[in-house]
Amino acid sequence: MCRILFLKWTNKKKALDYIDAFYKAWFDDPHLCNVIKSLNIKNIKNQHLHWWGYLLVTKDNINTYLSWEAFFNDEFGFENLKNQIYNISWEFLLMSELRLTDEWHISSINSHPFFFSTYNWYEWWFFYNWLLDHEKLALLDWFDYKNFVRKNGTTIICHSISKELEKWSTVKESLLKPVKAVKSGYNIMCFLNDNNWNFKAYINAYCKEKILENLNHMEYSKLIKKYDDDLFFVWSNAIWVYKKDNYIVMENWEFLEFDINFINEYYFNWYDEGMEMNI
C-alpha cells in the first residue's frame, strides 16, 4: 500500500511544487483513511509510516536514495532531494515511492528502488505498489518460497521479471508477467538500461476489476497524470488534495514508455587516448 511519483523533463519549480504536495499526501492521505476503515485495519490512520526512496536521473548522474524512515523523520534526505532538483541544469527523471508495508520486515534494503541486473546485461531499477500473492508468483517461476522469508515480496517480483528478461522476452512482457499473481493491483515504475545504448522509463497502471467496483479502493489505487510542455508527471491520486489541477486518470492496463535520451555517455580506449599502463 504505497504512493508513487514520476516526473520527467525540465521545469524544476513545478517539480518542487509537486514533490511538496506528494509528501504532504504521504503524511495525511484521506484515501488511505477511507480504505483502512473499510478494511478494518488497526493501528493505521492516514499516514504512510514506513520507508521511502527515490531514483533521480540527470545527464551526469543516476542517484538513488533508500531510507527505512518516513520522510517526516528524515529531514536531511528530503531536503537533499529538493536541493538536487533545484541545482539541475537540464532534463531529469525522478521516480519516488512512499511505503506502507503489509507484511515482512522493514529496512533500507527493502526500500524502493530495487536494483537488478540480468545475465543478458539488462540493468534496471524498479518501484511497485499494491498487492501480489508472492507465494503464488514464486511457484509460477519454480522459486523456493522459503528462500524469501526475510526479503520483501518485491524481491520475488524482480527475480520473476529478471527471469523473463533472460529469456529475451520483451520488456513489456517481462514487466507485466507478475500480474498473473496479482491480488489487487499492479502499479509500477521502471528505469532500464538494455546495454544497447538505450535508457528507457516505464509506467504501468493496473487494478483488478473488483477493486474498481469499490469507490474507496479505486480512489486509493488509481494513478493520475498530466502532460505539460516542460514537465510530465504521474502520481498516486492523493496528491490532488494538495495541488488542484486538471489531471487525467490513467486507464486500466495503460502502459507508458519513455526514451531517456539526455544521459551523457563517453566511450574511450586507453591506447586510442595515448595512454599506456605499465603492469
**What pLDDT does 11 receive?**
93
**In the predicted structure, residue 109 carries a pLDDT above the cut 70:** no
Q: Is the pLDDT of residue 49 over 70?
A: no
Record the cell numbers describing residue 25, joined without a space.
499526501
pLDDT, mean of residues 142-156: 70
* pLDDT at 48 exceeding the cut of 60: no
Strands (E), 89-222: 92-98, 114-117, 123-129, 187-193, 199-205
Confidence class for position 34, pLDDT limits 50, 70, 90? low
Amino acid 123: pLDDT:
92
Confidence category of residue 199, pLDDT binned at 50, 70, 90:
very high
pTM of the entire predicted model: 0.85
The CA distance from 125 to 134, in Å, is: 19
- Phi/psi at 273 (nearest 5 deg)? -85, 5
CATH architecture of 3-259: 4-Layer Sandwich (3.60)
Side chain identity at 236, as an amino acid letter? S
Select the highest-mean-pLDDT range: 43-57, 114-128, 137-151, 265-279. Answer: 114-128
Distance CA 37, CA 239 (A): 20
Q: Considering only CA atoms, which of 167, 240, 165, 178 is closest in space to residue 204? A: 178
Digit-coded pLDDT (tens) for 1-22: 667 889 999 999 999 998 888 8
